[in-house]
Structure 1
Amino acid sequence: MIASIRGEVLAIIDNSVVIDVGGVGISTLVVERTLQTLSIGSKATLHTSLMVREDSLTLFGFEDTQERDLFVLLQTVTGIGPRVAQSILNTLTVSDLRNAIGNESAAALEKVSGLGKKGAARIILELKDKVSGVNQRISTGESGWQSSISAALSGLGFTGREIDQAISSVAVTALDQPLEEKLRVALLNLQSPQSRGGTRG
């Protein structure tokens, strides 16, 4: 998986940007907010998600991992594909989207072109528990590493309860470790039989 790309902006075409990565121009679809921060000749770093189809490879780029993880999470909802997920993030910021889902504000989601009432209702129904756990931890002022791990695990589909358990495990066993090691410990905790039995049993 291509997790991120970094390099000089070679071109900006409609809603995509071409970035020179080691001499190869890589075209990446981005939301309008990201597009406005880029200019030809400038250096850019984008966190990415690669969509693989039988006849195409499409790379979507985002300013930060939280936006990318929400993009991935949105696609776990029935009927939501990458184009609609990008349209949602093009209309709503990460914060606004989390609040809309957590507060069950269908009206905010219905502003997204092509989503409609049924699509908005499905997003709220299927993601409310996953997103509300992240919102609660952010509102209580958790530290930076906890926020990063929360966003990553939420993007992988874990529930708020599972994420809380994983973060508690990291705080006990890997508090002084780098973020990558903290995330590894969190995932190992969630993959253990005891963890699965305790949270899903």
Structure 2
Amino acid sequence: MISSLRGTVASVGLQSAVLDVNGFGMQVQATPQTLATLRVGGEAQVFTTMVVREDSMTLFGFEDAEQREVFDTLLAISGVGPRLALAVLAVHTPEAIRIAASSGDDKAFSKVPGIGPKGARRIVLELAGKLVPLEAPGVPKNTWQGQVLTAMMGLGWSEKDAGAAIDAAVSDAPEIAATGDVGQILKLTLRRLGSDGARSSARARTL
């Protein structure tokens, strides 16, 4: 099992790169984001996963271990091969994938070329509980509040707005907050934000 490579970048293409590792040219398939970090002639390290088929052995390279972890988790889903898993990482960051998986956001996966609505729903179902948002610096640890706040900030909300939305949502449904179920609380908060946005638009149309 080759878990990482370190060497001199010999070439960089649109879908792959070659690293010279002690005289051996090792080709790795990678996302455009990872390939953009490589410079011909420069030293580099990539984290790798080897996918073995009957007629081939292919290395897939990643900028960090988190990308590799998400890639490996996606590969465990029925119907998702390495090319499709790589396409998901080309469209979304690992944290965005974690957030989509934990919140049941199948539309996020529908944005990936090659994944239709049914496939996106299957991916969300199979990822449930396997990928959760990582905690952001400064967010309280080991609490659902911190995890939900991290997820909301990852979706683009400011810490202030996200915190206010979470407080409002759980005050409406304290029984859900009492469970500490991060996924359910996140869904509740997103629904609350969507409802508030719809009311704001309705008010604007009447002015």
Q: CA–CA distance in 1 between the matches of 2:103 and 2:129?
A: 11
Higher Rg of the two aligned structures: 2
Q: Deviations over 1:56-104 (max 9, x none)?
A: 1100000111110110110111111111101101110001111111111
State the alpha-carbon separation in 1 of the partners of residues 5 and 119 from structure 2. Answer: 31
In structure 2, the residue corresponding to 1:49 is in which secondary structure? Answer: strand
Aligned to 2:26: 26
Percent of residue pairs identical: 41
Residue 77 (structure 2) aligns with: 77
Measured after TM superposition, the shift of residue 137 of structure 1 is: 5.6
Equivalent residue letter for 1:96 = A
Match of 1:120 in 2: 120
SS in 1 for 2:130: helix
1:110-189 aligned within 5 A? 110-132=110-132, 135=133, 140-141=140-141
Distance 2:56 2:130 in 1: 31
Partner of 2:8: 8
Q: In 2 relative to 1, CA 136–46 (structure 1 residues): closer, same or farther, beyond 3 Å?
A: closer
Q: Match for residue 102 of structure 2?
A: 102
In structure 2, how many angstroms separate the alpha carbons of the residues matched to 1:75 and 1:34? 19
Return the TM-score normalized by structure 2: 0.64
> How much does 1:136 deviate?
6.3
Distance in 2 between residues matched to 1:75 and 1:118, nearest whole Å: 17
Q: Amino acid of the residue matched to residue 73 of structure 2?
A: L
- 8 Å contact kept, 2:31–2:90: yes
Paired residues, what number? 140
RMSD, aligned CA: 1.5
Which residues of structure 1 form unaligned runs of 5+? 143-201
CA distance in 2, matches of 1:123, 1:88: 11
What CA distance in whole angstroms lies between the structure 2 residues aligned with 1:27 and 1:40? 13
Which letter maps to 1:16?
Answer: S
In structure 2, the gaps of 5 or more residues are 143-207
Q: Distance in 2 between matches of 1:81 and 1:118?
A: 16
| 2:34–2:63 contact (8 Å) kept in structure 1 | yes
For 1:93, give the aligned amino acid. T
Partner of 1:198: none
Q: Secondary structure at the match of 1:107?
A: helix
